[in-house]
A and B are shown apart, each in its own frame.
Chain A
Amino acid sequence: MAKVKNSEAMDDLFDKRNADWYFDKLVQFIVFISGISAIVFVIGIFVFVTTEGMGFLLDSFSFSEFFGSEYWDPSDEDAPEYGILALIAGTASVTGLAMLIAIPFSLGAAIYIAEFSTGKTREYLKVLVELLAAIPSVVWGFIGLSIMNPLIIELFDVPVGLTVLNAGIILGLMAAPIMTSIAEDALKAVPDRYREAAEALGATRWQVIYKTVLPAAKNGLLGAILLGVGRGFGETMAVLMATGHAVNIPHSVFDSVRALTATIAAELGETAVGSEHYQVLFTIGIFLFLITFIINLTADLIVRGIKNQ
Chain B
Amino acid sequence: MNKSQLITSCLLSLGVCMTATQAYARTVIQNKGSDTLVNVAQAWAEEYRNIDSNVAVAVSGGGSGTGIAALINGTVDIANASRAMKSKEVELAKSKGQNPIQHIVGYDALSVFLHPDNPADTLSFSQLQDIYARKGKATKWSDLGLTVPGCKQDKIVAVSRQNNSGTYAYFKKAVLGKKGKFRQGTLDMHGSKDVVDLVEKTPCAIGYSGLAYANEHVKMACIAKETGGKCVNPSVATASDRTYPIARPLFMYTNGEPTGETKKYLDWILSDVGQCILLKKGYAPVKDVTCK
B164–A159 CB distance below 8 A: no
B184–A76 CB distance below 8 A: no
Per-position contact with B for A149-163: 1 when CB-CB < 8 Å, else 0?
000000001111010
B66 located at the interface, meaning its Cβ lies under 8 Å from any Cβ of chain A in the complex: yes
User: Which chain A residues numbered 269 to 285 have a C-beta less than 8 Å away from chain B?
Assistant: 269-275, 277
For B95, the closest partner residue in chain A by CB is A274
Per-position contact with A for B146-159: 1 when CB-CB < 8 Å, else 0?
00000111010100
What is the bound-complex CA distance between A81 and B180, given in angstroms?
Answer: 12
Contacts of B69 in A (CB 8 A): 270-273, 275
What is the bound-complex CA distance between A307 and B180, given in angstroms?
Answer: 58
Q: List, sorted by A's number, 9 A–B pairs whose CB atoms are closer than 8 Å.
A: A73-B181, A78-B178, A86-B184, A159-B153, A160-B198, A246-B187, A266-B162, A267-B162, A272-B89
Contacts of B63 in A (CB 8 A): 270
B202–A244 CB distance below 8 A: no
- Contact A160 B202, CB 8 Å, known A244-B187, A272-B69, A274-B92: yes
Query: 4 shortest A-B CB distances, which residue pairs?
Result: A248-B185, A159-B204, A270-B66, A270-B65
What is the bound-complex CA distance between A77 and B86, given in angstroms?
Answer: 7
CB distance from B72 to the nearest CB of A (A): 4
A contacts with B, residue count (CB < 8 A): 35
CB distance from B75 to the nearest CB of A (A): 10
Contacts of B92 in A (CB 8 A): 272, 274-275
- Contact A159 B184, CB 8 Å, known A272-B72, A272-B73: no
Per-position contact with B for A243-270: 1 when CB-CB < 8 Å, else 0?
0111111000001101000000011011
What is the bound-complex CA distance between A94 and B61, given in angstroms?
Answer: 30
User: Which chain B residues numbered 204 to 248 have a C-beta less than 8 Å away from chain A?
Assistant: 204-205
Extra contacts, 6 of them, besides A159-B153, A273-B73 (Cβ < 8 A), are A157-B152, A160-B157, A246-B186, A269-B66, A272-B73, A272-B89
B292 located at the interface, meaning its Cβ lies under 8 Å from any Cβ of chain A in the complex: no
B3 located at the interface, meaning its Cβ lies under 8 Å from any Cβ of chain A in the complex: no
User: Which chain B residues numbered 151 to 196 have a C-beta less than 8 Å away from chain A?
Assistant: 151-153, 155, 157, 162-164, 168-169, 172, 178-179, 181-182, 184-190
Contacts of B93 in A (CB 8 A): 272
A75 located at the interface, meaning its Cβ lies under 8 Å from any Cβ of chain B in the complex: yes
- Contact A75 B169, CB 8 Å, known A246-B186, A272-B68: yes
B249 located at the interface, meaning its Cβ lies under 8 Å from any Cβ of chain A in the complex: no
A77–B87 CB distance below 8 A: yes
B interface list, Cβ under 8 A from A? 62-63, 65-66, 68-69, 72-73, 86-89, 92-93, 151-153, 155, 157, 162-164, 168-169, 172, 178-179, 181-182, 184-190, 198, 202-205
A79 located at the interface, meaning its Cβ lies under 8 Å from any Cβ of chain B in the complex: yes
B163–A267 CB distance below 8 A: yes
Choose among A77, A78, A159, A246 the residue that contacts B155 (Cβ–Cβ < 8 A). A159
Contacts of A184 in B (CB 8 A): none
What is the bound-complex CA distance between A97 and B157, given in angstroms?
Answer: 23
- Contact A267 B164, CB 8 Å, known A159-B203, A248-B185: yes
- Contact A247 B185, CB 8 Å, known A159-B202, A270-B65, A271-B69: yes
- Contact A275 B62, CB 8 Å, known A74-B163, A78-B178, A159-B205: no
